[in-house]
Amino acid sequence: MAQLGQYNDMTLLKKEHMGWILDGGVWGNILLPNRYSPEDCKAEDTLKVFLYLDSEDRPIATTQRPRATVGQVASLQVKSVNQVGAFLDWGLAKDLLVPFSEQKRPMTEGDFHTVFLYLDNSNRIVATERLNRFIKDQAIQYQFNDKVKVMPYSPTDLGYKVVVDDKYWGVVHAADMRKPLTAGKKIEGYIKQPREDGKLDVSLKPLGYQKTGPLSDVILEKLEQAGGEVPLGDKSPADAIEDYFGMSKRVFKMTIGKLYKDKKIIIEKERILLVK
C-alpha cells in the first residue's frame, strides 16, 4: 500500500497533458507532474516517488527528494509565517507546516528548528517541535557497537542529548566528544554497552576490537609516512596519541596490540616501529 510521506515504488499507467498517472492503489490514480517526470519513462515502468498532499489536499507524487520523510527528525529553516503557523523549507514545492500548537516558541523566518514529521488526523504531513510525543526514552533492541544514526539535539550537563535513529533519546557523554557537536546535523554513532534501564549511551567512534581493521590502516599509514617509526607507544600521554592518530589511548592500545599480534609492528614504551 502506498504511504503518504514516504518513498513508494509506483507503476506508470498513462501519460496525460499534466503529467503521468500512477497506480496509487487505495489512493486511486495519482498525478506525477510533467516537471518531475523523467524524460525516458514509459507506461508500465516502476518509478520511486515521494507521495504527499498538494495544496488541495489531493495525493500527488514527485521525484524530488525532501530533506526528511514522515517518522524522521530534521533541522529545517523557516521560510514564512502566517495565521496558520510556520512553514519550513523541506525541499519540496509545497512547504512543511508547523502549526502554532506544535511550536515550543514562536518561530521566526530564517531560523532553523529541529522537528519531527508526522501525519495529522487529516493525513496532512506536518511537523512538530514537541519531540517527546514521538521520541522514546528506552530501547532494548540495540547491542554493543551497533552503528546508529545520531541527530545532536541539545547540550546537557552530561554532554549532548541526541536522537538515535529518529526514534530514541540518547546521550553522548562529554568524555566521548572529541569536537563540538552541531545541533541538527546528523552523524554516525555507535551504541555503548546497553544499559539495564534501556537508555542509550552513544559513542561517536566504533568501540572495541571490531574497529581495529580500519584504524590499523590509519596507524600503518602514519608509520609509513614517518619512515617506519613514530615516537608514541602504549606509555605515551593520551592527548599526544589523540592529537597524532585521532583516537583515544585505549583504542590505540587495542589497535597496536592487534598489529603486534599480526607481526606488522614492534611496540616499545615510547615508540612503535613498522616491521619491514
Contact 138, 168 (CB under 8 A): yes
**Residue 186: what pLDDT?**
93
Domains of the chain: 7-62 (2.40.50.140), 73-131 (2.40.50.140), 147-204 (2.40.50.140), 209-274 (1.10.10.10)
Q: How high is the mean pLDDT in each 10-residue block of the chain (276 residues)?
A: 94 94 93 92 93 91 96 98 97 95 96 97 95 94 90 94 97 86 91 86 77 73 89 86 80 86 88 88
Other C-beta atoms closer than 10 Å to the C-beta of 200 total 25
CB atoms within 10 A of CB 201: 17
What pTM, to 2 d.p., does this model score? Answer: 0.74
- What are 164's three cell numbers? 538515535
Q: Could you tell me if residue 139 is left (phi over 0), alpha (psi between -120 and 50 degrees) or otherwise beta?
A: beta
